[in-house]
Amino acid sequence: MKQGWEIKKLGEVSEIINGGTPKTKVSAYWDGDIYWITPADLGKLTKIIVNDTPRKITDLGLEKSSAKLFPENSIILSTRAPIGHLAINSVPMSTNQGCRGIVPIKNVDTWFIYYFLKKNVELLNTLGTGATFKELSTKALAGIEIPIPPLYEQQRIVSILDKVFTAIDKTKANAEQNLKNARDVFDSYLQGVFEKKGDGWEHIRMGDICQIYDGTHFSPKNGRDGDYMYITAKNIKPYYIDVSNISYVTEDDHNDIYSRCSPKKGDVLYIKDGATAGIATVNTIEEEFSMLSSVALIKCSNIILNTFLVHYMNSSVGKKNFLGYLDGAAITRLTLIKIKNVCFSIPTLEEQQSIVNKLDALRAETQKLEAIYKKKLDCLEELKKSVLQKAFAGELIEDV
């Protein structure tokens, strides 16, 4: 360890304050002047909590809870899933049971501890315990060891970290905007293709040019082991099938499902139920698999290209057309009858192929740009980790 540094426990260099919620639900408790925050609120913040916290509590409400009021310039840490969200308050504040307030003692810089906790989010999570949900106890939090240099060195480190993180965050924001711009260019072009239909486009009804089915309406037992892949809405992404978290079913269950819904390579898969309804892809899987009813199976006739249909369904024009037929309260869904009754216009096969070629080429270029920007974002996150590692190893210099 660097000379002049000491290893302390977090509980030795700060007061850790528990959160708590009033035991009696009285609406008057929530109409006061004391700012109140929860783990969900912390997840929306960056660094500093300003005076717009959504809830306020009264003095009486605070008395009826196990929480305490902690002063401004304290650290608020979420200690119940998700563990590790943190910010610094700009006004006196209190929290519920899912957070802890950390108030540094004299000669310990608040931002120094903030950056230390930021560096050790993974450690915080490993210390969480619990069956239903993980929670980081005050005892475990207080026992975390932290390297403490003299105050002037803490402040020097914080000053450098502020500058570096501001620069990284600015670069990250630019990369995120560039990533969004790349996607917007493709989406805009895709929309334009189907908004500005050419001469000779024929108005058709889905049920007249496609055979449409859906998967099982009775979800079979499924898991990491089984005989056949089980495709649900979670696996369908725009233009591809995600099998990274695939489930499997038994041969008997598969045979029963496949007898009424038999996807083949080249068929179109379309999410018709739930929050992600409206996403389409061409099936690229060679082998047989089973499907849940949240996914529609569309077999195209010889007057429409599967790739043309997928581009249309994924466009904002197509989404608006199809999803306009959604109904349902708890779970919104498109019935097969409604999908069959959706009408739209298509050009000749030759023009469909020309459109698909242009869209595929633009999408390929978009994907290349996305890969570049995503890699840059990953590198920036790694740079943050590297800088924090140097900071708390006493290796941080001004030109890091």
Higher pLDDT, 43 or 20: 20
Number of domains in the chain: 3
Is there a domain that residue 145 lies in?
A: yes
Q: What is the mean pLDDT of residues 122-148?
A: 93
- 213, 249: one domain: yes
What are the tens digits of pLDDT across the range 387-400? 999 999 999 886 54
* Same-domain status, 27 and 75: yes
Distance of alpha carbon 85 from the chain centroid: 15
Region at 323 (left for phi over 0; alpha for psi -120 to 50; beta for the rest) = alpha
Question: Alpha carbon of 121 to those of 96, 115, 116, 388: distances in Å?
Answer: 20, 10, 9, 12
- pLDDT score at 25: 66
Provide the pLDDT confidence category of residue 119 given band limits of 50, 70 and 90.
very high
Query: 44 or 163, which is more confident?
Result: 163
Task: For residues 240 and 280, give the distance between their C-alpha atoms in angstroms, rounded to a whole number.
Answer: 8
Which amino acid does the sequence have at 13?
V
pLDDT at 379: 96
Is the pLDDT confidence value at 332 over 70?
A: yes
Residue-by-residue DSSP string for 330-376:
SS-B--HHHHHT-EEEE--HHHHHHHHHHHHHHHHHHHHHHHHHHHH
Q: Does residue 46 have a pLDDT over 80?
A: no
The torsion angles phi and psi of 55, rounded to 5 degrees, stand at -125, 150
Q: How, if at all, do strands 75-78 and 86-89 pair?
A: antiparallel
Percent of the chain with pLDDT over 70: 95
- Amino acid 329: pLDDT: 59
Q: How confident is the model at residue 297 (pLDDT cuts 50, 70, 90)?
A: very high
Q: Are residues 322 and 367 in the same domain?
A: no
Percent of the chain with pLDDT over 90: 74
d(CA 388, CA 117): 10
| End-to-end CA, the chain | 20
β pairing state of 236-237 and 240-241: antiparallel
Residue 27 has pLDDT above 90, yes or no: no
Over 60: is that where the pLDDT of 166 sits?
Answer: yes
The pLDDT assigned to 209 comes to: 96
Say whether both 213 and 332 belong to one domain.
Answer: yes
Residues 110, 64: one domain?
A: yes
Kindly report the backbone phi and psi dihedral angles of residue 213, in degrees, each rounded to the nearest multiple of 5, phi listed first: -135, 175
Distance of CA 193 to the CA centre of its chain: 30
Using the 3D structure, point to which of 321, 346, 371 is the last residue of a domain: 346
Q: Has residue 331 got a pLDDT over 80?
A: no
Residue 53's pLDDT is what? 59
Report the pLDDT averaged over residues 328-354: 89
If pLDDT is split at 50, 70 and 90, which confidence band does 118 have? very high
Q: Are 99 and 55 in contact (CB under 8 A)?
A: no
pLDDT at 242 over 80: yes
Q: Is the pLDDT of residue 366 over 70?
A: yes
The pLDDT of residue 380 is above 70: yes
Residues 218 and 162 reside in one and the same domain: no
The predicted structure's pLDDT at residue 20: 87
Same domain? For 308 and 379 the reply is: no
Name the residue among 69, 88, 53, 87 with its Cα closest to residue 19.
69
- Across the range 143-165, mean pLDDT stands at 95
pLDDT at residue 176, rounded to an integer = 93
What pTM does this model have? Answer: 0.76
- Mark whether 339 and 207 lie in a shared domain: yes
Mark whether 145 and 186 lie in a shared domain: no
Q: Render the burial of 298-319: b for 16+ CB within 10 Å, e for the rest.
A: bebeeebbbbbbbbbbbbebbb
Together in a domain, 329 and 358: no
Within-domain flag for 1? no
Computed over every residue of the chain, the mean pLDDT equals 91
pLDDT at position 319 over 70? yes
Rounded to whole angstroms, how far apart are CA atoms 306 and 267? 7
Helices (H) and strands (E) in the chain, counts: 13, 21
Between 190 and 34, residue with greater pLDDT: 190
For residue 321, how many other CB atoms are within 10 A of its CB? 18
Distance CA 308, CA 40 (A): 42
Question: Of 346, 364, 381, which residue is a domain's last?
Answer: 346
Distance of CA 1 to the CA centre of its chain: 38
- State the CB neighbour count (10 A cutoff) for residue 391: 21
228 in the same domain as 145: no
**Alpha carbon distance 249, 52 (integer Å):** 49
For residue 51, the model assigns a pLDDT of: 55
pLDDT band of 60, cuts 50, 70, 90? confident
Q: What is the pLDDT of residue 330?
A: 61
Domain that holds residue 168: 150-198+348-400
For range 89-105, the mean pLDDT: 89
349 Cβ contact partners less than 8 Å away, ≥ 6 residues apart: 303, 305
204 vs 3, higher pLDDT: 204
